[in-house]
Amino acid sequence: MKPSSKFVIWFVPLAFAIYILINKFYFAELYHFLMNYTEAVLAYFMAYLLVGLPLFVTVIILFGRQSFEALGMSRSLLKGFGLALLFTLPMFIGYAVVFDFNQNLDWRQIMLGAVFAGFFEEMYFRAFFFGLLFRYTRLGFIPSVLLGAIIFGSLHLYQSNDIGVMTGIFITTILGAGFFAWLYTEWKFNFWFIAWLHTMMNLSWMLFEAGDNALGGIWSNVFRVMAIALAIFITIRYKSMHGSKWVINRNTLISKT
């Protein structure tokens, strides 16, 4: 049984605000505390899970046994992985040609910077905050995605102290948040797809030292734009060939009646 729109529209932002505060003020302390009892990668994973408890509790209260479906986690993991790999091929191939392989990269950095970042950010920002608001309330795409995108962008500002670079990072991550939300919606809310896509984009960036921050340089962005263009092209072709209706259209941009 689906919860009423008014419950979702009140409790989802409230839980998300609590998560943001816990993450900002207690993630580091929690991580270092857990380091006393386990190794770094597991401590980081557990800290990510624990700061997200308000979100997990909220989705269980609202959706009960349908929680996995509400978060898009009941969709095909294999299909999600295949799509993500296909869409990121321009980045992996292009970076391999243009940049040097990062020989100092180890599996711990990959887990923390690619896998955990990709999966948890997509679960919390896209599947929970954007996804629940867009799917289960009358809010349209733009209001559902905007606040989360701004927060998502602001969380990446630590990567530079230069105002120009910070502005570029902010704009890039906001646009990226909108792009991921669009793909998540049009590919039937498959969480595994966007989680793998985010992870692989991060991984390609790390494997070949494409940039020191989310903004990157000219060539890193050339191949990133190619990957985005490929994702958009295939999405349009797939929906056209199968006669699928667009979930995001002029009638769902602002509000759904």
**Three-state SS for 2?**
coil
Structurally, how many domains does the chain consist of?
1
Higher pLDDT, 163 or 240: 240
Residue 20 located in a structural domain: no
Q: Within a domain: residue 23?
A: no
Cβ-contact 198, 214 below 8 angstroms: no
**222 part of a folded domain:** yes
Residue of 121, 123, 124, 148 lying closest to 19 (CA atoms): 124
pLDDT in tens, 93-112: 999 999 889 888 899 999 99
Q: Is residue 31 part of a domain?
A: no
Q: Is residue 157 part of a domain?
A: yes
Find the DSSP H helices in 40-140. Answer: 40-51, 53-63, 67-70, 77-98, 107-110, 117-121, 131-136
On whether the CB atoms of residues 247 and 183 are closer than 8 A, the answer is no
52 in a structural domain: no
Instruction: Specify if 257 maps to a domain.
Output: no
CA atoms within 13 A on the CB side of 68: 7
Those residues whose C-beta lies under 8 Å from the C-beta of residue 180, and which sit 6 or more positions away, are 122, 126, 194, 197, 198
Give percent above pLDDT 90 in the chain: 72
Q: Answer whether residue 11 is part of any domain.
A: no
pLDDT greater at residue 199 or residue 3: 199
Q: What is the extent of the structural domain holding 104?
A: 69-241
pLDDT tens for each residue of 197-240: 999 999 998 998 776 655 567 888 899 999 999 999 999 999 99
